[in-house]
Structure 1
């Protein structure tokens, strides 16, 4: 018997099971309560809070040395639909469950504030998407991960096309086409090749390829995996992400911070550390070329972001750039890189979700979408724009926000690998992010001669929106002051590889 708070009431195996089944049950309850908005939204809030508690309980189990394995069924001998707990999984699950709770709070204010149609459908598919995220997080093998990875694509498609107009349908088609193309042309072939070469798809500390496998085969498989994991939005398979900006802001927050893109970079981290292993990765000829490709994604997306006047599109291209950071961290395949990848996955989530929350708050109160229209907005929405400023610092990687820690380890990883060109790209990208992010709050608080809104009356967004913005902004600051739990989970991935965190 383990020592966490839920163990006297729920067995450890059922705690793991409920992390996947509970959001699915919530989706059914939301549908049944469609004519009672208060009950519908209460179900979403209560379920997301319970999921946070379950994830924390599993984290406590892991910290006490208890790892769980749950098998749903065996497809063929040696191939199971199964789940397990390990440090990277808990890092992703804790982040996703907590941000689902925060986004649920935000959604109440946003959806009611704009009187969005189809709110029951929105909350229902939101819950289903979180089910798939938990399945990805705790997948014990590539087969299980692939099943939930594809279900995540399908369950978020109705959210992307929520508005139902031609623009939403066009964006949804691009979203679906790119993600399904990369999955079935590259990802599935990579998984099949891995099964044929290694004889297993289980995530294994240190990797699953033995020394008898030709390095050239592993190098080709690595290329297929990186291109196949389209949710990581590496160039040239990134177009789905800006196209998905037609969705409501809570969906954009879900895509960019909680579910889709983080599911992508989590999968890359998982494949690099538990399929290839940190010892094999540097020996592969393709890893160097993929590092440069990820660096190109970081740099080019930053350039495009600087040219965007639409706020959500600027944030979308910023996300593409920041995802490249995690991909680089995974491909560096050293201790500092793994720690940087795990930490940046979480820290970027809090920073980026805050920025999207603020964009939605501005839309609710002013209807403004273009940055050129936001001069002087700081007088009307000071809380929102201060939060935007703090979250921007987190994305850039400046104190007193948590972004400084993941950027520090990423630069250290590049130094350890003697990747001087990548080091230059990372520094240039951070400088560019200063220009395309901090320019927004500066314009809002110091409009100069720009004829912005002259009203000094405060017009902040509804209270649930402000509460969610406050929580995510506070997290950006608290993770700077107390980064140790985040570091410990990321570093524990290294110790499972047989290495030593430093």
Structure 2
């Protein structure tokens, strides 16, 4: 059972994907049942594994590609943090996407690649070796590109080209780093820091930079981020998937693996890579917030907010104190819950009222109250207002920075929080306190429920993650478990 279960969980996304590709376009009910059924089964299996891994159980499967090179699936506490997030949000995003895209074209292709994207993300989380990670990492690129270009118009095609140009270049850099490292030390497994002491420090620095740069494209680090705002031409369910579940989280998750499961804290400090990475993450946090402040479109604002927020994860991982690592890991979940809420709401504003720009949001809270309540919770959480989840992330990052004797990080977090407030509070003011303007095209009806329930559910989850943070099986409690078991500095 411990060997088979990772394959079964992967099959819950792969089988619906493959069957969906084979179905006729008009088989709507069967296609929706397959995708929703796969998501529900996966959720049940993941919840079972949470209890088992919490008690110390380990799940692993391997297959030898060639002698000395194996594909390995290994489920540890960090894997489950990422997979639980993706599983819950996959189910809700599937419900949302079915309603959002109802009556559209090429939905069989869309949902086939949608499930393949989730399969790839799960494989990334379960990867037990560096080469296994790379296989699923590349499959994720191939699975998400058709979603970015789904509309098929000129803007989508341009965005797709930008996406491939960045991600494939990043993958080439990442692969070069993998080949160089494994040619020196053999296959690298995620079972604790690899023994790299025999390698030249300058060689290690270059390999570290190659691996982080390759992953930093998907994590949208400063200078490598341009594909993310461009991809906002995709439908709202795709934007939600890119920002909260799949691509950017895969990059940040990979950076955590590189630091803690390949190099280790001691070696990263010895070769002097921790502080430079923290500075890059901090620059990204401030840059993304400043760019968000300059946007008039709602989705571009949210895109640059993601550029900023994902780097909280990288910042926490690079500070090497217990609290900072916990803050970075838990923000992987917290940011996902809050950001998917905001993109769901942006999609509802678009679908129900034709609203794309911030200055078109005047008075929309009166017409679409449930959606606007959800948006408000997500935005306030991004600012860091207690007791919503974002507060716990920033608190742990701040205390962790002090523990690591990096007090300058407090200034970064403070400025970022002020910038978060500067671009989100005016939006909330327009939603709730401005009268509807002459461009008001809104419908009187907020539904259907399948569009409104997912954002409200994720907003409540973000609130619950903050209110119940002290519990052992909250995202924060699980992040503490990960650090105690695997990554204690």
Structure 1-normalised TM-score?
0.93
Q: Which residue number corresponds to residue 450 of structure 2?
A: 464
Unaligned runs of 5+ in 1: 1-10
Q: Which residue number corresponds to residue 495 of structure 1?
A: 484
* Match 1:325 to one of 312, 315, 324: 312
Hey, what's the Cα distance between the residues in 2 that align with 1:434 and 1:250?
25
Hey, what's the Cα distance between the residues in 2 that align with 1:461 and 1:170?
33
- When residues 43 and 281 of structure 1 are mapped into structure 2, their CA distance, relative to the original with a 3 A threshold, is same
Contact 1:376 1:452 in 2 (8 A): no
1:101 aligned to 2:104? Answer: no
Q: Which residue number corresponds to residue 5 of structure 2?
A: 15
Hey, what's the Cα distance between the residues in 1 that align with 2:486 and 2:86?
24
Hey, what's the Cα distance between the residues in 1 that align with 2:223 and 2:418?
23
Q: How big is the shift at 1:280?
A: 2.2
Deviations 1:327-381 (A, max 9, x none): 1111112211221111000000000000000000001111110001111111111
Q: Which residue number corresponds to residue 271 of structure 2?
A: 284
Q: How big is the shift at 1:488?
A: 3.2
SS at structure 2 position matched to 1:475: helix
Hey, what's the Cα distance between the residues in 1 that align with 2:256 and 2:365?
39
- When residues 209 and 360 of structure 1 are mapped into structure 2, their CA distance, relative to the original with a 3 A threshold, is same
Q: Which residue number corresponds to residue 55 of structure 1?
A: 46
Hey, what's the Cα distance between the residues in 2 that align with 1:73 and 1:497?
26
**Aligned ranges for residues 423-438 of structure 1 at < 5 Å?**
423-438=410-425
Q: How big is the shift at 1:74?
A: 3.2
Contact 1:72 1:82 in 2 (8 A): yes
Structure 2-normalised TM-score?
0.95
Contact 1:136 1:148 in 2 (8 A): yes
Q: Which residue number corresponds to residue 197 of structure 2?
A: 211
Hey, what's the Cα distance between the residues in 2 that align with 1:161 and 1:427?
37
1:75 aligned to 2:66? Answer: yes
- When residues 423 and 75 of structure 1 are mapped into structure 2, their CA distance, relative to the original with a 3 A threshold, is farther
**Aligned ranges for residues 79-478 of structure 1 at < 5 Å?**
79-112=69-102, 115-184=103-172, 186-205=173-192, 207-229=193-215, 230-447=217-434, 451=437, 458-478=444-464
- When residues 402 and 498 of structure 1 are mapped into structure 2, their CA distance, relative to the original with a 3 A threshold, is closer
Contact 2:380 2:388 in 1 (8 A): yes
Contact 1:272 1:333 in 2 (8 A): no
Deviations 1:167-186 (A, max 9, x none): 100000000110110110x2
Q: How big is the shift at 1:464?
A: 0.1
Q: How many residues align?
A: 484
- When residues 34 and 12 of structure 1 are mapped into structure 2, their CA distance, relative to the original with a 3 A threshold, is farther
Hey, what's the Cα distance between the residues in 2 that align with 1:285 and 1:498?
19
SS at structure 2 position matched to 1:245: helix
Contact 1:220 1:286 in 2 (8 A): no
Hey, what's the Cα distance between the residues in 2 that align with 1:451 and 1:253?
28
Contact 1:389 1:438 in 2 (8 A): no
Q: Which residue number corresponds to residue 7 of structure 1?
A: none
Contact 2:190 2:261 in 1 (8 A): yes
SS at structure 2 position matched to 1:226: helix
Contact 2:150 2:234 in 1 (8 A): yes
Give the alignment's Cα RMSD to 1 decimal.
1.8
Hey, what's the Cα distance between the residues in 2 that align with 1:182 and 1:391?
31
Moved more, 394-403 or 367-376: 394-403
Contact 1:374 1:452 in 2 (8 A): no
Deviations 1:464-494 (A, max 9, x none): 0111112101101111122232233222332
- When residues 456 and 495 of structure 1 are mapped into structure 2, their CA distance, relative to the original with a 3 A threshold, is closer
* Match 1:66 to one of 30, 35, 57: 57
1:39 aligned to 2:27? Answer: no
